[in-house]
A and B are shown apart, each in its own frame.
Chain A
Amino acid sequence: MNRHVSNETPPIISVSSLWKVFGKNPQNALEENYRSRTRADIQQELGLVVALRDVSFQVYPGETFVVMGLSGSGKSTLVRCLIGLIDSTAGELNIDGDNITTFDAKELREFRRSKMAMVFQNFGLLPHKNVLDNAAYGLEVKGIDRDNRYSIAREMLNKVGLAGWENANQRELSGGMQQRVGLARALAVDPHILLMDEPFSGLDPLIRRQMREELSLLQSEIQKTIIFITHDLDEAITIGDRIAIMRDGEIIQIGTPKEIITEPADDFVKEFTQGIPKTKVIDIKQCCSVPDVVFSSTDSHEIVRAKMDHANTDYAIGVDAQERYLGILCRNQLDSIADPTITIDSLVDSSIVSVLPGTTLDEALNFLSDQNLPIPVVDESNAFIGVATQPDLLKVVANDL
């Protein structure tokens, strides 16, 4: 989603040293001599299961924060602690200004009604209610009257593309549609934070990708803070602004998708990221070079021809007096024009698409032309930065394979 998140705004969620231990007398696992022992040791000696071990992280407003891990890594426990469905054993959970570990039942209820909403892997829809009533459930428990809650629920169902399905029963919906209802139900209460616990894991791959894209689109519109749980790194990278990788109840690494892939914290993360093409996260900036020939629009045909001869290349990049990118001039184009009165900038091929330096290689590869020309890279004000040649791009892709 590539939203710029400033670290200067205070975090909306701040988790520090969070522990969750399942079993009788869970505090025993937190004692000095057990704290640092492995999960298996603690389970064998104390009969306790450490689900979360010293978890700390911050999430900033508007950010999509992905928690990724295999099953049993504690990611589902973590998200349930955030909404108070599971009581944590130790540590602090500051959400939207409140330490929710100190909440009593009533405060927790108010918190859930106003600040957070959750989307579940198994949808968690009420089978005896129709789509509209399901989407309105959060508003119903809040005590909002029928007309108001129905109109909000309708709006949300529209937003997730389920207009016209209001009276349908859950049984009539496909998995993807059921999850849209789950999403509409969560959005209807207008939460500050949206928790999504493997929302797309139960769907088939095609629908999953489609839902991901729709979520990205929706997020650019609603701008919620999202905590997204997944076991699929591919999904994490597509959706997340930042990713936390969990194993055995601990967070091993937190970083942007690019950091996770290019600088894995340990072998575990590395192994995880192996299947992910680096082209998905590496910017074109990194394989950008200065072209052999750059000419200005005031240069004459002969000078440009001489420069190209000298560099033994068959293309040149044209820029104007302000160093702004004009286009690519091909050698055969230049040779076919004998009339020296035609200005050189009218010869350049401006149909070649230029890209921003932040474009990922994956996207940039789409713009490779079949004339063996490089991809020009320009900044927002169209100032020329450099080119990515096909051999350079292919080198990165080949290294990746």
Chain B
Amino acid sequence: MKFIQKFRSPIFLISAICGALIASVIIHSIKGEDDLGYPTNIGPEISNTIDGFLAWLVVNGEWFFDGINDNLKIVLGKLREFLVWIPWPVMVSLIFLLGWRLGSFRIGIISALGMILIGLVNLWEPAMVTIAIMAVSVSIAVIFGIPTGILMARSNLIETLLRPVLDAMQTMPSFVYLVPGIMLFGLGNVAAIIATVLYSIPPCIRLTNLGIRQVNPSVVEAGESFGSTTFQLLSKVQLPMAIPTIMAGINQTIMMALAMSTIAAMVGAGGLGIEVLRSMGQLQEGQAFIAGSAIVVMAIIIDRITQSVVLSR
């Protein structure tokens, strides 16, 4: 420890920076700038490998990805039809009830007003499509995210391995996720859903992990001392106590999925996102603003309702 502390001292840092500057000056004066390129460029090799892998996946995994594609399309199609089929007054009342029961009367009113607003700007149908895409993507993210988070909480090794992956997923520009989506599933809603899932899953995994790790160790110890099996400990002690944190993770996942909806529209996702894109392409700033605001309004409604679930626990 003392060794490391020495390296952290400001004197050491300052002398290291000075040393680096002096070395740079010396190298430049000896060789000149032109000779200082890297000896080799391994970038193409890496990208070629990735391209090759994706090409292989497209050919060999066709049956698998086509299966996912077809099924997801059916599920999404039915859900969209159903949501659009529900008359708007029924939907508004439903959302009011949801906001009221889960949150408060105020949240119910705000949510209902928000939905009416979306209807008033004639974006009701695209909004329902967005909700359908959200519902499918978030469900998939949660179905995979929570078990992954549990594994991560149970093993320090898995946590060490997954943490940089999650960091990368969250810093990666969201456009990048569109590429494998298109390659494997073609243009359309399914590619959009896959991209949305990849983009929005990290908070769900992270907060499940955090929630379980944060459970009061003395309660876990008590659970163990009464002879709980690993599964009993998880299902009766750790998960129930981690639910508020896990719900916060799901809330974040929903928010990120909504944020992705405009970008996902680029690969053919319907809904409010495509409205924004189309209006921008036709230089109708006003319409783009309205469609963008509709996304914000939906974000507020979903956030208030899901957060009140977290807080009420």
Residues on A lying within 8 angstroms of B by beta carbon are: 83, 85, 109-113, 116-118, 120-128, 137-138, 140-142, 182, 185, 189
Nearest-neighbor residue (CB-CB) of A115 within chain B? B227
Contact at B226–A117, with CB atoms within 8 Å?
yes
Could you tell me if B226 and A137 are in contact, using CB atoms closer than 8 angstroms? Answer: yes
Can you list 14 A-B pairs with a CB-CB distance of less than 8 A?
Answer: A83-B225, A109-B229, A111-B227, A113-B226, A113-B227, A118-B225, A126-B237, A126-B240, A128-B243, A140-B236, A141-B236, A142-B227, A185-B226, A189-B226
A128 touches B240 (CB 8 A): yes
Check B218–A122 contact: CB distance below 8 A: yes
Most buried by A among B218, B223, B225: B225
Cβ of A118 and Cβ of B236 under 8 Å apart?
A: no
Flag whether B66 is at the interface (Cβ < 8 A): no
Contact (Cβ within 8 A) B218 A126? no
Interface assignment of B224: CB less than 8 Å from any CB of chain A: yes
Asked if B226 contacts A138 (CB within 8 A), the reply is yes
Interface flag for B51 (CB, 8 Å)? no
CB-based nearest A residue for B240: A128
In the complex, what residues of B have CB within 8 A of residue A140's CB?
A: 236
Chain A residues with CB under 8 A of B241:
126-128
Q: Contacts A124-B219, A126-B241, A128-B241; is A117 near B225 (CB within 8 Å)?
A: yes
Q: Does B228 lie at the interface of the complex (its beta carbon under 8 Å from any beta carbon of A)?
A: yes
Of B216, B226, B240, the residue contacting A141 (CB under 8 A) is B226
Which of A83, A120, A185 is B218 in contact with, Cβ under 8 Å?
A120
Complex alpha-carbon distance, A127 and B243, angstroms: 12
B233 to chain A, nearest CB (A): 9
Say whether B226 contacts A112, CB under 8 Å: yes
Residue-wise, chain B 209-233 has the 8 Å CB interface mask toward A (1 for contact) of 0000000101101111111110010
With contacts A124-B216, A126-B237, A137-B236 known, what are 13 further pairs, Cβ within 8 A? A109-B229, A111-B227, A112-B224, A118-B225, A120-B222, A124-B222, A126-B240, A137-B223, A138-B226, A141-B223, A141-B228, A141-B232, A182-B222
Residue of A nearest to B229 (CB): A109
Find out whether the CB atom of A118 lies under 8 angstroms from the CB atom of B222.
yes
User: Are B221 and A110 within 8 A (Cβ)?
Assistant: no
A112-B226, A112-B227, A141-B226 known; A124-B218 Cβ under 8 A: yes
The answer to whether A109 touches B240 (Cβ under 8 A) is no
Question: Which A residues lie within 8 Å of B240 (CB)?
Answer: 126, 128
Contacts of B216 in A (CB 8 A): 122, 124
Complex Cα–Cα for A112 and B224 (A): 8
Q: Which residues of A have CB within 8 Å of B221?
A: 85, 120, 124
Q: What residues of chain B lie closer than 8 Å to A111, measured between beta carbons?
A: 227
Contacts of A83 in B (CB 8 A): 225
Q: How far is the CB of B169 from chain A (nearest CB, A)?
A: 31
Contacts of B229 in A (CB 8 A): 109, 141
B227 x A138 contact (CB < 8 A): yes
Cβ contacts under 8 Å, A185 to chain B: 226
Question: Is there an interface contact between A109 and B227, defined as CB atoms closer than 8 Å?
Answer: yes
Residue of B226, B240, B243 contacting most chain A CB atoms (<10 Å)? B226
Q: Are B236 and A112 in contact (CB under 8 A)?
A: no
Chain B residues in 8 Å Cβ range of A126: 219, 223, 236-237, 240-241
Q: Please tell me which one of the listed residues B219, B225, B237, B243 contacts residue A112 in the complex, with CB atoms under 8 A apart.
A: B225
Decide: A110 and B227 in contact? CB cutoff 8 A. yes
A191 to B, closest residue via Cβ = B226
CA distance A141 to B226 in the complex (A): 8
* Chain B residues within an 8 Å CB radius of A110: 227
- Contact between B224 and A85 (Cβ–Cβ < 8 Å)? yes
| A179 nearest CB across to chain B (Å) | 12
Closest 10 CB pairs of A and B: A124-B222, A113-B227, A112-B227, A138-B226, A122-B218, A118-B225, A128-B240, A109-B227, A141-B228, A124-B218
How distant is the Cα of A189 from the Cα of B225 in the complex, in angstroms?
Answer: 12
Contacts of A120 in B (CB 8 A): 218, 221-222, 225
- Chain B residues contacting A125 (CB-CB under 8 Å) are 219, 222
Q: Which residue of B lies closest to A113 (CB)?
A: B227
Residue of B nearest to A140 (CB): B236
- Chain A residues, Cβ within 8 Å of B223: 124, 126, 137, 141
Nearest CB of chain B from residue A118's CB, rounded to whole Å:
4
The distance in angstroms between the C-alpha atoms of A137 and B232, with both chains bound, is 11
CB-defined contacts of B236 to chain A, threshold 8 Å: 126, 137, 140-141
CB distance from A114 to the nearest CB of B (A): 8
Measured CB to CB, the closest approach of chain A to B68, in angstroms, equals 36
Q: How many Å from the CB of B35 to the closest CB on chain A?
A: 48
A118 to B223 Cα, complex, angstroms: 10
Whole-angstrom distance between the Cβ of B214 and the nearest chain A Cβ: 13
**Chain B residues closer than 8 Å to A142, beta-carbon distance:** 227
Closest residue of A by beta carbon distance from B224: A85
Interface residues of B in 236-251 (CB under 8 A from A): 236-237, 240-241, 243
CA–CA, A118 and B218, complex, Å: 12
Which residues of chain A have C-beta atoms less than 8 A from B224's C-beta?
Answer: 85, 112
| Closest CB in chain B relative to A224 CB, distance in Å | 16
Query: What B residues does A116 contact at CB under 8 A?
Result: 225
- Among A120, A123, A126, the one with the most B-chain Cβ atoms within 10 Å of its Cβ is A126
In the assembled complex, the CB of B232 is this many whole angstroms from the nearest CB of chain A, namely 5
Report Cα–Cα, A137/B241, bound state, in Å: 15
CB distance from A106 to the nearest CB of B (A): 9
Contacts of A112 in B (CB 8 A): 224-227
A317, B137: Cα distance in complex, Å: 95
A120–B218 CA distance with the chains assembled, in angstroms: 8
Most A CB contacts (10 A, CB to CB) among B224, B240, B243 go to B224
Q: Give the Cβ gap from B28 to chain A, nearest Cβ, in Å.
A: 46
